Amino acid sequence: MAPPKRYPKSNRRKDSLRLVARDHATVLLKKPAAYYDDSLNVTWGSQDQYEVIKQLGKGKYGEVYEGINLRLAARDKDRVCVIKVMRPVKEHRLRREVKILQHVSGGPNIVRLLDIVRDPDTKTPSFVFDFVDAMPFKELQAAVTDLDVRYYIFQLLIALDYCHSRGIMHRDVKPGNVLIDHAKRQLKLIDWGLADFYTPGKEYPVRVATRFYKGPELLVDIKDYTYSLDVWGVGCMLAALVFKKPVFFRGEDEFDQLVKVVRVLGSDGLYAYCDKYGVELDPRLAQLCGYRPRVAWRKFVTGDNSALCSPEAFDLLDRLLQYDHHERLTCQEALQHAYFDPVREGLPGFKPLPEPMAAMMAQLEARRRQQQQQQQAGSSGGGGGGGSAEGGEAGASGSGGGAGGSGGGGAGPSGQGRQQQQQQQLMQQGGNGGIRDEAEAEEGPPVPLRGPPAAARAAKETAVLA
């Protein structure tokens, strides 16, 4: 059955469950309307101050160039800049992007907005940013170590938590919008053109984010999504880095994108997710998904990527790549995960972090240790509730262990020897030497379509009879 080429359109019951973000949900309630509305008087700079050198890239909403600030001396390190020339957009969209940039610019690991200029004749606006000598994602994948991956994902989470704490969803987290200067160990989150302010309960367009990084909520037409949409993008990036894949979920269109997710995470979780939020899948989409078992992360381990794989990485993937957007870790929770213990503990190979990130990390570590003490005091059993690497495939719930994941609350191994032992175990458990592509994660042909869980069907039938 060939996938339809139009965007999926699912139906949702009017009385369906609607939940708000688990963190930073009330930020805008504490802000004046001028913080988030369309009212904005832009102070335009002079474009004559800048000279374009070469094109760096282009997208749907603009073209990006390397440029120089002519008012700065040739030896000034800030002389080189990035100029984003906007394509025609609606005025309110431009004002929103400017306002969001002003709120987040200069935050930890977020690109700094230097100037806003406009062509006096065409009125075409341009944004001027700091220049980042970024390494292409494909080259980065070949260069990074296990500690590097942990470090950069940690930095990305810091950037996202910062913007979430200001009531802003990025809505386009992907490698192309995460610039990494590997030589300087710097990460910058860029491109706020699709970002928006989060209001609890508000319905937003689902045509945001880049296809390969779209969360399931977008693909099943849930419009009241939250900051956790960004967390899904982080999970996709982590999976691509750990398993050394250019893209982890590579769909041909929006229908096929969900199919690719189901082939890894399984169909039970998808149907439970839809049932929880009162979503009736587009029939063609449901037929394409069919029934699929969940695939354990260890099945993706190969000789090429085993050094990047660990039980902590698998457990974090379980908690980031949840169908249920409400069950995903928040950025703050993810920052406290055991996967990042080596980053927080400053193992050899990491340079001291500059302020204010070092202070933020210290606060997170103190909070994490306090929670561990409370857990130990409350339960003699302790532990984070996760499965071991031998634990089999994970379900869709965020409370369990996972596809070979370890408990999220416990401390990870601190020694290189133990990490090597774990990697060897993972390779042995992989069995078939790893799966080369997410499409190969299928375990046999799809069986006929199954519906929602029996209990859910019975509840629906009872409601109809009533």
**Distance from CA of residue 347 to its chain's centroid?**
25
- Catalytic, out of 115, 148, 161, 172: 172
Beta bridge partners of 54: 66
In whole angstroms, what is the distance from residue 186 CA to residue 132 CA?
A: 9
**Distance from CA of residue 336 to its chain's centroid?**
16
Distances 399 to 230, 324, 390 between C-alpha atoms, Å? 20, 12, 18
Residue 300 neighbours by CB under 8 Å, 6+ apart: 243, 309, 430, 434, 435, 441
Q: Tokens for 204, please give them.
A: 């937003």
Determine whether 172 is an active site residue: yes
Closest C-alpha to 397, from 235, 272, 230: 272
Region for 433 from its dihedrals, namely left if φ exceeds 0, alpha if ψ lies in -120 to 50, beta otherwise: left
The annotation status of 84 as a binding-site residue, yes or no, is yes
Print burial letters for 366-394: b (CB count within 10 Å at least 16), e (below 16). eebeeebeebeeeeeeeebebbebebebb
Q: Which residues are annotated as a binding site for ATP?
A: 84
The residues carrying an active-site annotation are: 172
